[in-house]
């Protein structure tokens, strides 16, 4: 199939014409459900509100909340009038927000009142105290010279901030013709979405993604899942991350499927939504699926409507994958692999792939996507079956990092190849296995050890619910392995019992020297485990810091 050449807004209009009465989205927690016809009308009106607010095509609009309806509609409304939606991590605090608003040169901030006990209003007051004494829409902030407007997603009265209803009223001053003129001026090669990478090293970087980047990626993702207008996709993953706004909402819209949206992840809310809304697909990071499967009430819910979905965001444990297929009934679940810089999906399994391939690989590259595996030192391609750095090229590679040419040059070489920093192995059938990050690889006494291999082995232990393996400095071998293990409820193990389990099954040098039991891992808001923090914790526990 040829690549599409459409804007986000064109996709919405097309689906509304083809499937006007199919439900576009449902918020089960609020009893809200809208058809594609209504969704098209709502996003037209909101696009006019953006224009009525004086926001121009190409302007940067930052949005900061969990999976609120206002966020969802804004994604597609900006797709109709050309403002670039800058997605803000829900966990951000003052310094991070200030950095993002300044670096992205956002003129507008849309925010909820708060998230999980953090007041977003207090944070923006701290970052931009001038807002309190400014006229609405005329903020002049010393720290944030580009910021002009703050829009609140609620009806709370706050000095210097528009209430949501005041924002919506701005649509009245914009005619259908004016919206149409802007709509027609948009180019599928325009940047429409900007996401800040997690920033596990250095400051986060703003990834510029075009309509063509994300519309085509969403189309190809849904094709691999065999999504149609009859599918209902449960979305508990955060919108601010690619998993939320590309693999979930946009993938649903490109296939006229229904988005069943959970505002904040809660395993019980997900199970209830799947059952009550008869969801056929469910997306989530592995920790979400683990929480659903291990919930004490899991057996009380009927998940038999499930057929497919996506597990992605971090390495998918084989045992968890098997449970999702056998116990949840999602026997056509797919695995995706990629990164924000690649819009984000590079490879994906298909609904027909044999179980071994679906649990042990991240599938094959999407159509229109090139992949090669190179020696990270020499840059030469490695023989099949050998690990190396995965590089990719095609329509899906980002336009670059915003205002950061140096970082863009480091990520994308002169031949257009994006260097992912991930270690991969390709098998004889063309399927890829991601064995870790280049920087996660552990070198013990000259032996390269990939933590993923040890993790997959330890998942087979009947008491182990989750496991993460990292390297710690060692004066004798250079590095040693440390395993952080979360046990299943009621299970009891010791360091020695875990080591005994390994003996005779994996090479001696791969048995973790250090083992710690824990209840949780340090996580990003999008559900990724922060291995760099685990490494820091490991060095503290073992008392051997990097010298």
Residue-wise pLDDT for 410-423, tens only, equals 999 999 999 999 99
- Whether the CB-CB separation of 525 and 89 falls below 8 Å is answered with yes
Residue 405 backbone phi and psi in degrees, to 5: -65, -35
- Taking residue 28's Cβ as centre, other Cβ atoms within 10 Å add up to 19
Average pLDDT for 279-298 = 95
Q: What is the pTM of this model?
A: 0.86
- Lowest mean pLDDT segment, chosen from 199-203, 291-295, 302-306: 199-203
The 10s digit of each residue's pLDDT in 327-367 is 999 999 999 999 999 999 999 999 999 988 988 899 999 99
Residue given tokens 């044999």 in the structure block: 354
Q: Which residue has the higher pLDDT, 1 or 174?
A: 174
Distance in angstroms (rounded) separating the CA atoms of residues 503 and 397: 44
The three-state secondary structure class of 58 is coil
- Checking if the pLDDT of 546 tops 50, the result is no
**pLDDT score recorded for residue 91:** 86
* CA pair distance 331, 37, nearest whole angstrom: 32
Per-residue model confidence (pLDDT) at position 506: 86
Q: Return phi, psi of residue 303, to 5°.
A: -105, 20
Q: Are 462 and 489 in contact (CB under 8 A)?
A: no
Region 438-447: what's the mean pLDDT?
A: 78
What's the rounded Cα separation, in Å, for the pair 347 and 396? Answer: 11
> Residue 547 — pLDDT band, cuts 50, 70, 90?
very low
Q: Which long-range CB contacts under 8 A does 199-205 form with residues at least 24 apart? A: 200/530, 200/531, 200/532, 201/439, 201/532, 203/99, 203/103, 204/96, 204/99, 204/100, 205/401, 205/402, 205/404, 205/407
Q: What is the CA radius of gyration of the chain?
A: 24
Element (H, E) at 506: none
Q: pLDDT tens digit string along 384-404?
A: 999 999 999 999 999 999 999
Q: Is 369:219 a contact under the CB 8 Å cutoff?
A: no
Contact 3, 206 (CB under 8 A): no
Question: Looking at residue 277, what is its pLDDT?
Answer: 98
Give me 484's structure tokens.
């952080």
pLDDT band, very low/low/confident/very high, at 436 (cuts 50, 70, 90): confident
pLDDT at residue 526, rounded to an integer: 76
* Domains present along the chain, CATH in parentheses: 30-206 (3.40.50.12780), 441-542 (3.30.300.30)
pLDDT (average), residues 245-263: 98
pLDDT, residue 202, reads 61
**What is residue 31's DSSP assignment?**
T
Average the pLDDT over 95-118 and give the result.
96
Q: Is 261:26 a contact under the CB 8 Å cutoff? A: yes
478 or 278: which leads in pLDDT: 278
Specify the DSSP class assigned to residue 5. Answer: -
pLDDT given for residue 545 in this prediction: 56
Within 10 A of 381 (CB to CB), how many other CB atoms are there?
13
């Amino acid at each position: 199939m040829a690549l599409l050449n459409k804007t986000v807004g064109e996709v919405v209009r097309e689906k509304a014409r083809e499937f006007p009465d199919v439900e576009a989205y449902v918020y089960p927690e609020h009893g809200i459900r809208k058809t594609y016809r209504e969704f098209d009308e709502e996003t037209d009106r909101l696009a006019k509100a953006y224009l009525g607010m004086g926001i121009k095509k190409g302007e940067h609009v930052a949005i900061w909340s969990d999976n609120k309806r206002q966020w969802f509609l804004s994604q597609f409304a900006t797709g109709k009038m050309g403002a670039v939606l800058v997605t803000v991590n829900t966990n951000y605090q003052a310094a991070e927000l200030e950095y993002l608003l300044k670096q992205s040169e956002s003129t507008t901030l849309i925010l909820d009142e708060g998230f999980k006990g953090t007041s977003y209003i207090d944070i923006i007051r701290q970052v931009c105290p001038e807002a309190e004494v400014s006229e609405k829409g005329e903020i002049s902030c010393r720290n944030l010279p580009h910021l002009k407007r703050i829009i609140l997603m609620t009806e709370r009265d706050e000095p210097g901030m528009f209430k949501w209803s005041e924002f919506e009223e701005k649509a009245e001053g914009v005619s259908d013709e004016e919206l149409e003129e802007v709509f027609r001026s948009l180019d599928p090669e325009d940047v429409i979405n900007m996401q800040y990478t997690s920033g596990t090293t250095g400051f986060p970087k703003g990834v510029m993604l075009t309509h063509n980047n994300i519309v085509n990626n969403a189309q190809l993702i849904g094709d691999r899942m065999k999504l149609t207008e009859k599918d209902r996709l449960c979305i508990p993953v955060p919108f601010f991350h690619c998993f939320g706004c590309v693999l979930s909402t946009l993938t649903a819209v490109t296939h006229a499927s229904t988005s069943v949206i959970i505002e904040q992840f809660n395993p019980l809310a997900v199970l209830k939504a799947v059952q009550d809304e008869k969801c056929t697909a469910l997306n989530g990071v592995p920790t979400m699926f683990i929480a659903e499967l291990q919930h004490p009430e899991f057996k009380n819910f009927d998940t038999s409507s499930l057929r497919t979905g996506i597990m992605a965001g971090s390495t998918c444990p084989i045992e968890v994958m098997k449970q999702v297929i056998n116990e949840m009934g999602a026997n056509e679940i797919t695995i995706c692999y990629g990164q924000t810089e690649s819009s984000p999906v590079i490879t994906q399994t298909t609904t027909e792939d044999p179980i071994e391939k679906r649990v042990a690989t991240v599938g094959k590259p999407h159509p229109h996507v090139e992949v090669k595996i190179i020696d990270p030192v020499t840059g030469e391609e490695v023989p099949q079956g050998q690990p190396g750095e995965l590089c990719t090229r095609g329509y899906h590679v980002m336009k670059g990092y915003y205002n950061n040419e140096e970082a863009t040059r480091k990520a994308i070489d002169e031949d257009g190849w994006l260097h992912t920093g991930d270690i991969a192995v390709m098998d004889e059938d063309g399927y890829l296995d991601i064995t870790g990050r280049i920087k996660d690889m552990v070198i013990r006494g000259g032996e390269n050890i990939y933590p993923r291999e040890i993790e997959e082995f330890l998942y087979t232990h009947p008491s182990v619910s989750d496991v993460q393996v990292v390297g710690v400095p060692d004066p004798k071998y250079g590095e040693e392995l440390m395993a952080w293990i979360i046990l299943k409820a009621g299970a009891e193990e010791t360091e020695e019992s875990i080591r005994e389990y390994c003996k005779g099954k994996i090479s001696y040098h791969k048995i973790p020297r250090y083992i710690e039991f824990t209840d949780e891992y340090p996580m990003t808001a999008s559900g990724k485990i922060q291995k760099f923090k685990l490494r820091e914790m490991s060095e503290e526990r073992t008392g051997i810091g990097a010298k």
